[in-house]
A and B are shown apart, each in its own frame.
Chain A
Amino acid sequence: MPAVRNIRLCTKDCMCLYVCPSGATDTENSVIDVEKCIKGCRACVDACPSGAISLLPDAYPPQQPKKETVTDALRLLARSKAAQEKMTADIMESGPSSVTRQFAEAMSKSNRLMAEDLLRESGYMLPQSEEVRGLLESLTKSPPEGFPTDAAEKLLILLGKTT
């Protein structure tokens, strides 16, 4: 359970520097040194006055089970949002004015975010899940043309380790 710092919450009171027994919190890039961190000692977490440090879990439980009636309905909405993302992305490239393109870019980004969230709730929240593993395995077995098989295979190895 290594400690991690959320730099946006950090108010530079630096209690973590004083309490860390291994010097892991004092780094030039503000990221707590995972190698040095004692993992689980929580001295910095408890001392931080702004709640900017937390312990990262070693494992994650599976996502709450999803019913097919729910995931089907969410998937259809996500599909529509993905289609709208693509349509607005096309306008973003070919729109006649910088304002049109700006508006299209905002709409495109918005649709991507909604599609992501709907898919997350349709059973694809956890990167280490069986569902994701199954999807990656099927894609590496019969990859579409140009698919980055190396990346998928590497993920299968890495994610197997962190479950």
Chain B
Amino acid sequence: MTSPSPVLRPPSANSLAIRVENLGKQYRIGTAPEKYRTLRESIVNVATWPIQRIRRGLAPSGTEQSDTIWALRDISFTVEQGSVLGVIGRNGAGKSTLLKVLSRVTEPTEGEVEIRGRVGSLLEVGTGFHPELTGRENIYLNGAILGMKRTEIDRKYDEIVDFSGVEQFIDTPVKRYSSGMYLRLAFAVAAHLEPEILVVDEVLAVGDAEFQRKCIGKMSDVAQEGRTVLFVSHDMSAILRLTEEAIVLEGGQVVYRAPTVEAVDYYMTSGFSEAGERKWAADEIPPNSAPFRPMALRVRDAKQNNVDVVRSTEAIHLEVEYELHEPIQGLRVGLYLMSARGEYVFTSFDTDEPEQYNQFGIRPAGHYKSICTIPPDLLNEGRYTVGMNASSFRIKRYFMDERALTFTVDGMGAPGKQWAETRMGLMRPRLQWRIEEQ
């Protein structure tokens, strides 16, 4: 990676901003967030407690733990004051849980964390915004929720309004705001918190390019002021640009810590087997899909590994695996590709070419894979969603899943990466340029 990091500072006087030691966070699956206990269950539990107790005594040990999971386990690391640390890992690797523990939303189950300084998060901009209150009122309310003193908000008020760019509507209830205005105002408040430790999680995934530029700009400002930043993102380019060092989380553990370039390389090349694959279980398929039976959709890199992150400079293979229990006439199996903001990039079917169309006029029963290859240097960096469709034109749609799988395209080595900027557009082709002197 050639792009130089804009934030290079001498190591601070050996003072730690964050010290994490043997941190573990356990969740009970049965009672995990969305499912709550009812009184009746508890009463039943109390009534049957002796029986359960006896059973548990008889059953082999270890069954008690079966309904709990460790979202984080044995995590130890330190962050020096003023450093910028990237946190990377797949979905479910424990990134969000780690940030929740560090921002004191949830308590660790074991181990300890020492934090020096105020923690601010760009984790959830606009928390506590009330739709009925005006922009001005929400600035004060949200500021207080984020832990600012009223005098502090008074002092920064003009700056916040300026930064948000919604001064015209500052006395309008925010329910009348467009989602973009809402987001900008919310971000403006959060960005002016000036915490000693800033935690950023995926803000870059929302908002338009202009907004994303502001976020990145604010982050590097914060870093340059010598504050500590923890930056979580799927966007490897942003991680590379903004952080010096990164940790890789996998299965709730820190599996790697290194200068960012190495950490990103480790993350992108290690085969995370479950990533990049969507399997359909029998109960997810509507009965009227028969005789078409989807099995899996996979995103594979040039080396045929299932991957969550692919490089834009390499070919991407999208593979649909399915079974036909009976022959189907005129079947076409296809894919939609959508950007993170829901724009269609393309739609394509496996019998688009006349040759294949003629050959598979009637597709016999059997086990198939339809593989689509996206050529190198086509997609811009970002997150994409793949949808799947199996139909016979004007006869029947057998199966459709518009959001089957998502993957990230990383722009490492893509054209124009010597400039640390977000390129507009969904494509990033390597085009021919000639410069002619006249």
Do A and B come from the same complex?
A: no
Which A residues fall within an 8 A CB radius of B? none
